[in-house]
Amino acid sequence: MENDCLFCKIANGQMDTRFLFENENLVVFRDINPHAPVHLLIVPKRHIRSVNDLTEVDSAIVAEMIMTAKQMAKAEMVDQSGYKLLFNVEKGGGQVIFHLHLHLIGGWKK
Ligand code: 5GP
Ligand code: ZN
């Protein structure tokens, strides 16, 4: 756990954030400032700063994040209508929380 990292605190249960899904490796919760009717964040419990910091040992968690996103899209009933999966990477890429997270965004009206 990294000091002063908001998503470390959330993912390790130190905030009041309600999880839609949790297992030993990651958590899923709703974005506080949603950009679409469905806007979830898939967040590993282990601190990784950004996609730039991924190494070979992180392959499994990245795969698990994407597979979890797929399951959450189905649970939120946006799998058929479609959705976006997004990693913002570093400041220029729009990242403001420097703890790896995958955005799942969808649910727009047809
Ligand atoms: P980024 O721009 O770093 O890719 O995305 C960070 C996201 O985290 C933003 O969409 C922002 O709304 C969300 N966020 C920031 N603080 C909190 C919080 O305390 N709770 C929740 N649920 N989402 C947060
Ligand atoms: Zn962190």
Our mutation pick for probing the ligand 1 site, out of 18, 41, 51, 88, counting the most ligand atoms within 8 A of Cβ, is: 41
Residue 109 is encoded by which pair of tokens?
């009206």
Residue extents of the structural domains in the chain: 6-106
Instruction: Indicate which residue's Cα is closest to atom 18 of ligand 1.
Output: 32
Domain spanning 6-106 has what CATH number?
A: 3.30.428.10
| Residue 18, Cβ density class (10 Å: 0-12 exposed, 13-18 middle, ≥19 buried) | exposed
pLDDT tens for the chain, 110 residues long, are: 888 999 999 999 999 999 999 999 999 999 999 999 999 999 999 999 999 999 999 999 999 999 999 999 999 999 999 999 999 999 999 999 999 999 999 999 87
Q: What pTM did the predictor assign? A: 0.97
Q: Are 40 and 29 in contact (CB under 8 A)?
A: yes
Total H helices, total E strands in the chain: 2, 5
